[in-house]
Amino acid sequence: MTAPRSKGSAYMEWAKTRSQARFNLASSGVAELEAAELPFRLEDVELTGPSFYGYPPLQERLARKAGVEAECVVAATGTSMANYLALAAFLEPGDQALIEEPAYGPLVDAASYLGAEVRRFPRRAENSFAADPADVERALTPRTRAIVLSNLHNPSSALVENATLERIGDLARGVRARVIVDEVYLDALFERAPPSSFTLDPETFVVTSSLTKAYGLGGLRCGWVVADPASARRMWRLNDLFGVVPAHAAERLSILALDHLPKIAARAKALLDANRTTLQRFFDGRAELEVPRLQAGMIAFPRLRRGDVDALGAMLRDKYATTVVPGRFFGLSDHFRVSYGCLPATLAGGLEGLGAALDELR
Ligand SMILES: Cc1ncc(COP(=O)(O)O)c(C=O)c1O
């Protein structure tokens, strides 16, 4: 029996209604930039503009950032809509989508909503959540049309090296499937970021991203897909059914942000580097947590060796005004996700609460 189509995201509903807290270690991006931190004048913003199949000045900047021609770029409302467009372009009802597990829930729900049969390949905790092409190969079938993974991985921040992606690309080509790589966290490697997987084979790899996570610019909703030109055109046509055209004022502000990206990136990198050191020190002193050494990104996914993660989450929220994401949203109920893109004082307060709650649960 096939599973019923998903009509929503349990994770997203939780994130919107339950994750807010004084010490919010559940939201996954870098602390939001405020408008006052962008050097913009009112003249830089307009309400209406020629945003049909992309506003040309924004298209040009996104293409330059991705190192591709503008015809490969589909602007989208966040990585969220970018993922939806990419999945919708390659999945027909009854096709198989092969998605990493654990995964960012909306990827799975969107594929299910499109009528795809969702299969999973494991990214194993005991292997630091690496993506293993052998696992992809085992789960692949002639009906697989999309292999979907995130890089860096949500929830673990594990990096998938391009050599591994090349092997996954070979497997995809063998069954005429695409590899959709959600690279929204890849920019958080900053100068260490490898070339986007799109460059490995533009006919196989389709990439999604946005300014949301690595730059603290979630409010702009500036996302995009990078795909071969024919697929990109299909996605623009699909978008005529959904967003049709974006808010032009947001496009203007996105241009401004892209023109100042090195400075915005420097702020984000400094914040993440300092917070990563703080969080690693905390993990080093907590034998009840098992977690790979922090290397990159802004989220970590520890395992609670003994005890109940939901009880921990409830105590954290009720007693310590702190939230983390319960691992059940990723299919691993003995894990939880901690975000460290927040301001240092928020991280310090949240870790104080987490330490106290872990002590009490002993
Ligand atoms: C892997 C992944 N993709 C996409 C998104 C959504 O990104 P955006 O805010 O750009 O829509 C998130 C947000 O948490 C995410 O973790």
Predicted confidence at residue 40, as pLDDT, reads: 84
Q: What percent of the chain has pLDDT over 90?
A: 96
Q: Which atom of ligand 1 is nearest to the CA of 150?
A: 1
Mutate to test the pocket of ligand 1, among 184, 222, 224, 337 (most ligand atoms within 8 A of CB): 184
* Beta-ladder partners of 181: 149, 207
Residue 234 has pLDDT above 60, yes or no: yes
pTM for this prediction: 0.98
Q: How far is the CA of 107 from the centre of ligand 1 (A)?
A: 9
Q: Which atom of ligand 1 is nearest to the CA of 81?
A: 11
Which residue lies with its CA nearest to atom 14 of ligand 1? 28
- What Cα–Cα distance (Å) separates residue 77 from each residue in 172, 238, 242? 27, 13, 10
Residue 327 has pLDDT above 70, yes or no: yes
Q: How far is the CA of 151 from the centre of ligand 1 (A)?
A: 12
Q: How far is the CA of 184 from the centre of ligand 1 (A)?
A: 6
Predicted confidence at residue 1, as pLDDT, reads: 57
Q: How far is the CA of 174 from the centre of ligand 1 (A)?
A: 29
Tokens for 67, please give them. Answer: 């190192």
Question: What confidence tier does 27 reach under pLDDT thresholds 50, 70, 90?
Answer: very high
Q: Which atom of ligand 1 is nearest to the CA of 210?
A: 10
Q: How far is the CA of 288 from the centre of ligand 1 (A)?
A: 29
Mutate to test the pocket of ligand 1, among 212, 225, 330 (most ligand atoms within 8 A of CB): 212
Residue 313 has pLDDT above 60, yes or no: yes
pLDDT digits (tens, 9 = 90+) for 65-109: 999 999 999 999 999 999 999 999 999 999 999 999 999 999 999
Q: Which atom of ligand 1 is nearest to the CA of 77?
A: 11
pLDDT, average across residues 205-214: 98
Cβ < 6 A, ligand 1 pocket: 28, 78-80, 104, 150, 154, 182, 184, 210, 212, 218, 223
Residue 130 has pLDDT above 60, yes or no: yes
Residue 44 has pLDDT above 70, yes or no: yes
Q: Which atom of ligand 1 is nearest to the CA of 15?
A: 14
Residue 138 has pLDDT above 70, yes or no: yes
- What Cα–Cα distance (Å) separates residue 133 from each residue in 100, 114, 203? 11, 26, 19
pLDDT digits (tens, 9 = 90+) for 179-207: 999 999 999 999 999 999 999 999 999 99
Question: What confidence tier does 146 reach under pLDDT thresholds 50, 70, 90?
Answer: very high
Q: What percent of the chain has pLDDT over 70?
A: 99
Q: How far is the CA of 297 from the centre of ligand 1 (A)?
A: 13
pLDDT, average across residues 124-153: 98
